Structures are given as structure tokens and as C-alpha cells.
């Protein structure tokens, strides 16, 4: 059955999801602050893939109009922008799907926690997993996971958003699914640095494996189920992001490995690099909760404390091996 969907955020991911939902016959309204994006969507042209025409996607800069438009709200904004947008919106009684991946700096909150704080009487779900926007825009086969507490509502949502090329699995561990999507970006930056330095495939495989162990340690401490990290939103998205040129997080790391400063690398990419912010939140969380997170800690000292890359690598590679906590 056709429904109305509001998408908050007309970036690449918001536009890809809008395109997917409209192909399924839903009526979609995208909210974005950028007039050029709004204009392009209203003209039926994908702002990021100009060869693709888009039908049935309307767009607005009017947040109230967007919120009032539908019962179903998809949040696809950069994580650090979500609070400021939701503070301006009165969100009440909606079914909300968070599609953003990261932790909020300062509060260390997951996206569903930010949404919960700033909305009333809403049911909140998280959509995550290995899903590059450009491939979803093109309708290439993709599998994702939808997590939430109310499995009946999740099942209804799955029926609304699934297609043969967009396969949706369900999960009741929203904490694990959100943390999988947020933490894999940090490890993807580390893998990018290793690739940029020319360290080779062995090093990248080691970082991905030890990175996954680090994600599990952090996640379990924060209340996630261990097994969730071995599914689409943890391992699945880590494999994708840490090994593909399409990833902004990996590319960010790659450019740093090639000698660029973090500022220059961010400038060059010109899109959201969520892992850069999440590193900060993870560093504070792991300090506060005494979680052993050597890769995230090393990235923090490189990106935010100005420690030279050679020293960071030396510390990481020469740190005492096999502490009891490292056996996972
Ligand atoms: N791209 C992908 O493949 C995927 C992305 N995601 C997640 O989706 C989220 C969004 O990423 P993505 O769409 O790729 O990012 P993009 O960089 O493509 O776009 C971000 C968009 O958010 C807008 N924006 C920034 N700040 C604000 C604000 N304060 N108020 C309103 N709009 C704002 C930007 O506008 P402007 O350009 O004017 O600044 C831009 O249109 C991230 O959390 C990402 O991890 C998840 C799965 C896949
Ligand atoms: O999360 C993503 C794919 O699942 C997108 O990753 P990047 O933000 O690194 O491009």
C-alpha cells in the first residue's frame, strides 16, 4: 500500500532512500536546507547523479511542512546536525527511522537517543547495514537491517520499504545496530590510513579483524548484544566501508596516509565524514568507561592531539601484546 514518507536530509543518503521509496510507489517529501538541492529534486533531477531522473519526489526547505506531511519520518541528516534540526521541529506521534550513522559529540548519544530526547510519543527504528547511496540510487541489490523494539511495527515497515533489490532484515537490538553503523566508520578511517601508507592487504585484514573486536568490546559495554556485530550493521558494513574507494571514511583515512592533514582531507572530500566526529565520542566513552580501544585512541591522538602519524603507528604496533582484554 502506498504511504507518505518525509525524509529529513537531502544529502546522498536521503536522496537515495527517497528515490528507492518513490520507486516503490510511495509519496515522498524531502526536507533540506540547501535551495539548490531542493530545486533540483523538485525539477525531477537527482542532485548527485544527474543522469538519473526522479519522479514523485517533492522537496522543501520548510521544516514544518515536511514534518506535517506524513506519519513516517526518515532521519538522514549528518549526526551532528540532527539536534539542531529536531529542536526546531515539533515531532510528535510519528514512526521514525534513523538512517544516520554516528555518535553525537559531547553527549555520546546514539541517533535514536537524540531523537527520543527531542520528540514525543514516537516509535523509533534504525536502518543500517552495507549500503552505499550511489548503489541504492541505481537500484543495485542491497541488504540492510531494521532494528527497533516493536517487532510488529518493524514488520509493517519492512513490508513498506522492502523490494527484491532492497532486502530488509529485522533485529531487536537497536543499540547494537546503531553502534555497528557508527563504530565501523572509525575502523574504516584506520584501514584507509593503512592503505594510504601502502601497508598492504595483510595490515588491512588485521585492522578490520582487530577493529571488529574493538567494536564488540565497546558495544557490549554500552549494552549491545555481541552477535549483532557479526551481522549486516557491524561486520557487513565494516567489510564494505573499510575496503571500498566509494567510502568517504576510508578515503579520508587514505588521504591522511598519503600525507594530507585532516583539515585538507575533509575539504577534499566535501561530504560528511561521520567517523571523524565519532572518534571523538568513542575516545571520551572509552576513557570514561575504561574500555580497551587502542585503534580509536590512536586515531584520536592523530586527528585531535596533533601526534605525528609515525609516532601513532609506532605506539600502536609496539604496544604490549595480548593483554587479557585483547584475547577476543
Ligand atoms: N552516503 C551513503 O552512502 C550513506 C550515508 N549514511 C549516513 O547518512 C547520513 C547523511 O549522509 P549523506 O547523505 O551521505 O551526507 P551528504 O554529505 O551527502 O549530505 C549531507 C546533507 O546534510 C545537509 N546538512 C548538513 N547540516 C545540516 C543542517 N544543520 N540542517 C539541515 N541539513 C544539513 C547538507 O547540506 P549542505 O550540503 O548544504 O551542507 C547535505 O545536504 C550520515 O550519517 C551517513 O553516515 C548511511 C548509509 C549510506
Ligand atoms: O555507511 C556507508 C555505507 O554503508 C557509507 O559510508 P561512508 O560514509 O564512509 O561513505
Q: State the pLDDT at residue 328.
A: 52
Q: Give the alpha-carbon dihedral of 29, 34, 37, 40, to 10 degrees.
A: 90
Q: Which residue has the cell 527504528?
A: 125
- Residues 216/277, Cβ–Cβ less than 8 Å: no
CATH of the domain spanning 175-318, picked from 3.40.50.720, 2.30.40.10, 3.40.50.2000, 1.10.1040.10? 1.10.1040.10
What is the per-residue pLDDT for 81?
98
Task: Return the best residue to mutate from 272, 273, 276 for the ligand 1 pocket (most ligand atoms within 8 A of CB).
Answer: 272
256 CA distance to ligand 1 middle (Å): 22
292/307 Cα distance (integer angstroms) = 20
Regarding beta strands 95-98 and 123-128, do their DSSP bridges make them parallel or antiparallel, or are they unpaired?
Answer: parallel
Q: What is the pLDDT of residue 55?
A: 81
DSSP sequence for 138-190: TT--EEEEEE-S-HHHHHHHHHHH-BTTEEEEEES-HHHHHHHHHHHHHHHHH
Partners of residue 6 on adjacent β-strands: 29, 73
- Which cell is 129 given? 547495514
259 is in an annotated binding site: no
Within the chain, all domains assigned CATH 1.10.1040.10 are found at 175-318
Residue 324 has pLDDT above 80, yes or no: no
What grid cell was written down for 41?
A: 529534486
- What CATH number labels 4-172? 3.40.50.720
User: Is there an atom of ligand 1 within 6 Å of 126 CB?
Assistant: no
Residue spans in the chain of domains classed CATH 3.40.50.720: 4-172
Pocket test for ligand 2, best of 247, 254, 269, 273 (most atoms within 8 A of CB): 247
For 70-101, the pLDDT digits (tens) are 999 999 999 999 999 999 999 999 999 999 99
Contacts 24+ apart (CB under 8 A), 37-43: 37/10, 38/10, 41/10, 41/15
Atom of ligand 1 nearest to the CA of 134: 3
Answer yes or no: is 19 a known binding residue.
no
Give the pLDDT band (50/70/90) at residue 318: confident
**In DSSP terms, which residues pair with 59 in a beta bridge?**
30
Amino acid at each position: 500500500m502506498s504511504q507518505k514518507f518525509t525524509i529529513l536530509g537531502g544529502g546522498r543518503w536521503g536522496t537515495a532512500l527517497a528515490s528507492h521509496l518513490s520507486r516503490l510507489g510511495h509519496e515522498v517529501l524531502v526536507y533540506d536546507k540547501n535551495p539548490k538541492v531542493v530545486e533540483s529534486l523538485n525539477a525531477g533531477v537527482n542532485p548527485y547523479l544527474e543522469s538519473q531522473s526522479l519522479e514523485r519526489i517533492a522537496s522543501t526547505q520548510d521544516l514544518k511542512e515536511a514534518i506535517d506531511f506524513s506519519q513516517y519520518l526518515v532521519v538522514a541528516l549528518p549526526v551532528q546536525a540532527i539536534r539542531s534540526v529536531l529542536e526546531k521541529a515539533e515531532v510528535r506521534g510519528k514512526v521514525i527511522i534513523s538512517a544516520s550513522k554516528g555518535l553525537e559529540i559531547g553527549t555520546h548519544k546514539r541517533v535514536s537517543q537524540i531523537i527520543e530526547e527531542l520528540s514525543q510519543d514516537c516509535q523509533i527504528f534504525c536502518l543500517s547495514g552495507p549500503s552505499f547511496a550511489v548503489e541504492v540510487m541505481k537500484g543495485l541489490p542491497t541488504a540492510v537491517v531494521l532494528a527497533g523494539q516493536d517487532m510488529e511495527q518493524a514488520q509493517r515497515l519492512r513490508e513498506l520499504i522492502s523490494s527484491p533489490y532492497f532486502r530488509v532484515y529485522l533485529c531487536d537490538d537497536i543499540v547494537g545496530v546503531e553502534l555497528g553503523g557508527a563504530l565501523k566508520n572509525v575502523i574504516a578511517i584506520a584501514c584507509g590510513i593503512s592503505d594510504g601508507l601502502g601497508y598492504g592487504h595483510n595490515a588491512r585484514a588485521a585492522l578490520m579483524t582487530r577493529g571488529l573486536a574493538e567494536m564488540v568490546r565497546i558495544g557490549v559495554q554500552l549494552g549491545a548484544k555481541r552477535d549483532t556485530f557479526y551481522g549486516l550493521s557491524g561486520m557487513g558494513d565494516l567489510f564494505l566501508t573499510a575496503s571500498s574507494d566509494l567510502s568517504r571514511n576510508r578515503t579520508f583515512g587514505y588521504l591522511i596516509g598519503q600525507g594530507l592533514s585532516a583539515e585538507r582531507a575533509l575539504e577534499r572530500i566535501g561530504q560528511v565524514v561521520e567517523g571523524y566526529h565519532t572518534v571523538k565520542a568513542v575516545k571520551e566513552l572509552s576513557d570514561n568507561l575504561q574500555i580497551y580501544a587502542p585503534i580509536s585512541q590512536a586515531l584520536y591522538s592523530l586527528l585531535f592531539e596533533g601526534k605525528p602519524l609515525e609516532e601513532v603507528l609506532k605506539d600502536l604496533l609496539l604496544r604490549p601484546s595480548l593483554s587479557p582484554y585483547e584475547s577476543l
